[in-house]
Amino acid sequence: MVAAVIDGKARAARLRETLTAEVIELKAKVGRVPGLAVVLVGEDPASTVYVRNKGQQTKEVGMKSVEHKLPADASEAQLLALVEELNRDETIDGILVQLPVPKHIDSGKILQAIAPEKDVDGFHAVNVGRLWSGDKRALVPCTPTGSMILAKDVLGNNLSGANAVVIGRSNIVGKPMAALLLAESCTVTIAHSRTKDIANVVKAADIVVAAVGVPEMVKGSWIRPGATVIDVGINRIATPEGKTRLVGDCAYDECAAVAGAITPVPGGVGPMTIACLLLNTVTAFKNRNNL
């Protein structure tokens, strides 16, 4: 058996098409389009590329895109003042401060300063609480949202009773992913670097979400035959030729030989993350306009 490859790139394109049509409808109802503001502090090369891609895709679906770039030596107070200004701006529905920020700035303080109803990253304590308590107004982190969409594309909308193992316990992916799976009535285990006999824990899973940040940690022997594998990891490793290549947290060829379906790296969960940022911005717009 060879696993079906879950094409995140194609799925993200379909989601953007749906959002483009929805933005046209929302403009007709409210008289304006959803607005997303992205804030970048410093010149981190990867962050600069991410911000450019986010801005480009925001415009492509017909939404308002605003970028604010602050120098690397900008103070925490300057960044907080900008966030407060965006909180008050009625044309902005989503605010995202690109991480990482320079070391002299407390990222936790910045993330909690964003108005919860505009927190399209889903990191504010209010949104975390809403997610875990089942409040439909929760804005959920983009990567778990995209991972859930891909899992449901394979397994259908009814995941009730499925055994799910999430490998990784970060606030960005692992914990919110577990909350989403629980909300779908899955039986959820969170495994991590300290989990004893992790291979057997994973082997019990119908759904495996690998988000631990360790290149090719999950082996084919860990996967139950026919399981759905969502690989969130993006790791750059050296090749024998002296170049580098991207790999996930799963040993892809091994896992694909056993799984029923699997996301590739790149081209799996990654493209869904920005698409779900746009989805969250539309959701925030609808929440703020009681739609």
pTM of the complete model beyond 0.85 = yes
Band of pLDDT at residue 75, cut at 50, 70 and 90: very high
Q: Does pLDDT of 11 surpass 80?
A: yes
- Window from 43-57, 80-94, 172-186, 244-258 with minimum mean pLDDT: 43-57
pLDDT for 141 equals: 98
State phi, psi for 148 to the nearest 5 degrees: -65, -40
pLDDT for 55 equals: 95
Q: Catalytic one among 57, 93, 118, 121?
A: 121
In sequence order, what are the beta bridge partners of 133? none
Band of pLDDT at residue 29, cut at 50, 70 and 90: very high
Q: Say if residue 266 is preceded by a cis peptide, omega within 30 of 0.
A: yes
* CATH 3.40.50.720 domain position(s) in the chain: 142-270
Average of per-residue pLDDT across 45-54 = 92
Model pLDDT for residues 242-284, shown as the tens digit of each residue: 999 999 999 999 999 999 999 999 999 999 999 999 999 999 9
Residue with tokens 């909180």: 87
**Within a 10 A sphere around the Cβ of 196, how many other Cβ atoms?**
7
Indicate the helix (H) or strand (E) that contains 43.
none
Q: Does pLDDT of 40 surpass 80?
A: yes
Query: Is 98 one of the catalytic residues?
Result: yes
Full 3-state SS string of 201-215? HHHCCCEEEECCCCC
DSSP-derived secondary structure letter, 99: S
Q: Catalytic one among 64, 93, 98, 175?
A: 98
pLDDT for 86 equals: 98
Enter the CATH code of domain 142-270. 3.40.50.720
Decide if 35 contacts 91 (C-beta within 8 A).
Answer: yes
Decide if 223 contacts 208 (C-beta within 8 A).
Answer: yes
The pLDDT > 90 percentage for the chain reads 96
State phi, psi for 263 to the nearest 5 degrees: -90, 135
pLDDT for 2 equals: 87
Q: Does pLDDT of 1 surpass 80?
A: no
DSSP-derived secondary structure letter, 36: E
Enter the CATH code of domain 33-116. 3.40.50.10860
Whole-number average pLDDT of the chain: 97
What is the rounded CA–CA span in Å between residue 84 and residue 107?
Answer: 15
Query: Is 93 one of the catalytic residues?
Result: no
* CATH 3.40.50.10860 domain position(s) in the chain: 33-116
Query: Is 56 one of the catalytic residues?
Result: no
Q: Does pLDDT of 78 surpass 90?
A: yes
What is the rounded CA–CA span in Å between residue 48 and residue 113?
Answer: 23
Model pLDDT for residues 226-249, shown as the tens digit of each residue: 999 999 999 999 999 999 999 999
pLDDT for 193 equals: 87
CA-to-CA dists, residue 159 to 34, 53, 152, angstroms:
32, 32, 8
Decide if 255 contacts 225 (C-beta within 8 A).
Answer: no
